[in-house]
Amino acid sequence: MNSDEKKERQSFRSDWGLAVEIDDYLWRVRLQNKRGRIMVNTYVLKKDDVLAVFDPGWPWTLDALAEALRDSDLGSIESVTHWIYTHSHVDHMGAACLLNALSFSPHYASKWLEPHFKNWHAFIDKANDWIPWSEGAIAEEHIVALFRKEGADRIAKKAPLSLAHGPGEVKNTVLLDVGQTLQLADFEFQILDMRGHDPTHIGFFEKNQGWFISGDAILSTPTPISVAMDDDIDLYRASLNAVLDLDVKLLLPGHGVHKRKNFRRSVERSLRYLQSYESLVIDSLHTDKKVSLMDICLADNPELLDRDATYASVQIALVDSHLQALVRRGIVERTEGPYYQRNR
Ligand SMILES: [Zn+2]
């Protein structure tokens, strides 16, 4: 069967979203997100007595997931045997604790997340609170005020998880380590180190099928890297370089469409995004004049603050990640404010 015929497999669409069979035993489910624009790819593997769900999604799309499994004849929340996660962000792992109440099956997640399972909701809320970062990163008080307002609006609109559901403990966890293999029916998923977008990010590579469930490490747009969430540009670059030569036949990203061709080109594009942001930062700096993070961001995009607050904050944090990496490498000097200057 060639790759075009594979597109003609089963699919189901309803109010809950879209489920598509993308390979034998493998489904991509995209659930309607009533609270925002971002949709997540949830992957479902069903073979023999295994019903595994990778990245079940937002806390508020659980009902949609239950309907999707049922309407696509895949099963039910109760019949899921494995809950598996690429990384900790709320769109991928925000429902983990709530699932404990609905399912007895274990949660497979990166060993780096272990310290946070006890206070899961508080951990997620803290990662999504970018105010402390903005206060330290942005020199202009009126822009920090925008961040404070955006944060307050967000809290008013959608209550933080710990307010809505308590501190939350993820129970029944199985820790995954890089290099280890996760056996699901007769599939063998190798655990890959994909840290960067999230300091706990892992990927799942099934060598015989050429499947790579890559979370948010390789997207068609620049992967957000945010110092506000302890993300790390250097780790991210290393993760991308390490998978360049992987024999991937089906790239299964956390957002956007899956890809059957040119895996290497997709990774190279992500690396190029890194390069272009780094160049943007370096080109905006001077050896004889100090500039702020906002000066750099606005030089690249003067209309940035007219865009919606989430977009603007993701962009600013991404630029700051590059800036801080350059400070670490001794290329840029950071002084009180903070303001930045290129070292001669
Ligand atoms: Zn994501």
CB count in 10 Å sphere of residue 315: 18
Cα(175) to centroid(ligand 1), Å: 20
Split at pLDDT 50, 70, 90, the class of 4 is very low
The answer to whether residue 69 is domain-embedded is yes
The answer to whether residue 330 is domain-embedded is no
The tens digit of pLDDT for each residue in 273-321 reads 999 999 999 999 999 999 999 999 999 899 998 888 888 888 999 999 9
The answer to whether residue 63 is domain-embedded is yes
pLDDT at 1: 46
The answer to whether residue 305 is domain-embedded is no
Cα(201) to centroid(ligand 1), Å: 11
Give, as one character, the DSSP assignment of residue 284. H
How much is the average pLDDT of 225-232? 84
Cα(30) to centroid(ligand 1), Å: 12
Domain range for 182 is: 3-285
The answer to whether residue 332 is domain-embedded is no
The answer to whether residue 159 is domain-embedded is yes
Looking at the structure of the chain, the number of domains it has is: 1
The tens digit of pLDDT for each residue in 24-49 reads 999 999 999 988 888 999 999 999 99
Which range is least confidently modeled, 1-5, 130-134, 226-230, 319-323? 1-5
Residues 117 and 272 sit within 8 Å (Cβ to Cβ): no
Please work out, in degrees rounded to the nearest 5, the angle formed at the alpha carbon of residue 332 by the alpha carbons of 326 and 335: 120
Cα gap 300→285, rounded to integer Å: 12
| Pairing label, strands 82-84, 202-206 | unpaired
The tens digit of pLDDT for each residue in 190-210 reads 999 999 999 999 999 999 999
Which range is least confidently modeled, 41-45, 64-68, 321-325? 321-325
Cα(314) to centroid(ligand 1), Å: 13
CATH number at residue 61: 3.60.15.10
pLDDT at 8: 57
pLDDT over 70, % of the chain: 98
**pLDDT: is 118 or 306 the higher one?**
118
- Which is nearest to 43 in space by CA: 74, 5, 9? 74
Cα(340) to centroid(ligand 1), Å: 31
pLDDT at 103: 97
Cα(216) to centroid(ligand 1), Å: 5
Q: How far is CA 39 from the centre of its chain?
A: 11
Cα(254) to centroid(ligand 1), Å: 6
> Average per-residue pLDDT in the chain?
93
Cα(59) to centroid(ligand 1), Å: 13
Cα gap 19→69, rounded to integer Å: 9
Between the CA atoms of 30, 31, 35 and 37, what dihedral angle is there, to the nearest 10 degrees?
Answer: 20
Cα(174) to centroid(ligand 1), Å: 21
Cα(92) to centroid(ligand 1), Å: 6
pLDDT at 297: 95
pTM: 0.93
The answer to whether residue 334 is domain-embedded is no
Cα(215) to centroid(ligand 1), Å: 7
Cα(219) to centroid(ligand 1), Å: 10
Cα gap 236→195, rounded to integer Å: 6
Cα(291) to centroid(ligand 1), Å: 31
The answer to whether residue 157 is domain-embedded is yes
Cα(89) to centroid(ligand 1), Å: 7
Cα(39) to centroid(ligand 1), Å: 8
Residues 83 and 68 sit within 8 Å (Cβ to Cβ): no
Cα(6) to centroid(ligand 1), Å: 26
pLDDT at 32: 96
pLDDT at 310: 81
